[in-house]
Chain A
Amino acid sequence: MTSARFCTFSEPLPYPEAVSLQKRLVDARITDGIPDTFLLLQHPPVITLGRRARTDFLLADDETLAKSGITKQFSSRGGDVTYHAPGQWVLYPILKLSQNEMGAHGYLHALEDVALNTASHFGIQAYRKDGKAGAWCDQGKFAAIGFKFTRWVTSHGMSLNVKPNMNGFELIVGCGLVGERVTSFQGVLGVETCPSMDAVAEVVAEVVNEVFQRETELIEPEDL
């Protein structure tokens, strides 16, 4: 098992700050200044567009977004358009993938496994859809994926809808998938039985160890 660090943020982190934090960690990871590091955090409401995102998949103009308290950011990750908000965990692994470990496809599969295994821990029957990245259950898609390699160090990653305000998803065609329903743990389990954000975070931290074969040490944001 490779040692690694896992850091959960208790307060939502604005998207641009998360981008600069990841950039700093990626640079440090490339030069082996830090071990593999997983960030688990929430963003204030934001719609982000990947490099090849088609703006017609963003259904709201800037004014509507501003009224809804949602900002818009362009992102260097792969993938199309997506929405983040409190109540959704975002997992950003900063991993140096060894040449023998996995390529983009294996990494995508591993991120999907994190979403699927976490959902299944809470009794949600979840599955992949062929040819599409992400994780689904019968009620819709609950995890979205988009990542970047910088000299084979990963950044960006996966978002998991636990209990976000789902209104923001109505303003986008999520991941460019037309007619795709989006759901959350709360949408599947109901308000009463939906686990807390903290409970989900603990499970994600365990699942990450299994899926990526890492032995993670929990650290605080100030130790990053």
Chain B
Amino acid sequence: MQVPEDLKYTESHEWVRLEGDLCRIGITEFAQSQLADLTFVDLPEVGAKVSAGDEVAVVESVKAASDVYAPISGEVVEANETLSDSPEVINEDSFGEGWLFVVKPDNVSDLDSMLNAEAYRALLPEE
């Protein structure tokens, strides 16, 4: 199971990539594998203010809907609209083309308290 070293993670299986002063956010390879084939994505509105821990997006597979939580507080500045037509991209490339949204964080230092790759990997079942 892929867990890129350069990302931060949450216990609820979101990932965060710091790009300049912005945070790109998605769900991990483990999360997409647990949900199986995704068929529907509900993304936050650009401009929305979110707080860490808020339910901000929904991904849905077979008959399961699962909430996605904001890993960090800030403003949503971009959402991956291409996913509406092709949610399966999350299954194919969860850390790349399958990103969900971008947040401009209130405090970039909030990232420091999130899990690093090693700590996140420890949460996953043994392969």
Enumerate chain A interface residues (CB-CB to B < 8 A).
Answer: 50-52, 76-79, 99-100, 103-105, 107-108, 133, 145-152
Contacts and interface: CB of A to CB of B under 8 A. Distances in A.
- Which of A50, A108, A149, A152 counts the most chain B CB atoms within 10 A? A149
A51 B39 CA distance: 11
A103 B33 contact: yes
Given A51-B42, A99-B123, A108 B33 contact: no
Given A51-B40, A149-B66, A151-B12, A104 B61 contact: yes
A107 B12 CA distance: 18
Interface string B16-36: 000000000000000001111
Interface residues of B, number: 21
Nearest to A156: B65
A52 B63 contact: no
B62 A51 contact: no
Contacts of B39: 52
Ranked 5 nearest A-B pairs via Cβ: A103-B34, A78-B65, A104-B64, A149-B66, A52-B40
Nearest to B53: A151
B75 interface: no
A78 B62 contact: yes
Nearest to A107: B64
Nearest to A175: B63
B63 A79 contact: yes
B19 to A, nearest CB: 26
Interface of B: 12, 33-36, 39-40, 42, 58, 60-67, 69, 123-125
B63 A149 contact: no
B67 A104 contact: no
A209 to B, nearest CB: 23
A103 B36 contact: yes
Contact of A103 (B35, B40, B42, B63): B35
Contacts of B42: 51
Contacts of B33: 103
25 contacts: A50-B65, A51-B42, A51-B60, A52-B60, A76-B65, A77-B63, A77-B65, A78-B63, A99-B124, A104-B34, A104-B66, A105-B62, A107-B64, A108-B62, A108-B63, A133-B62, A147-B65, A148-B64, A148-B66, A148-B67, A149-B35, A149-B64, A149-B65, A150-B67, A151-B12
Nearest to B67: A150
A219 B36 CA distance: 34
B43 to A, nearest CB: 13
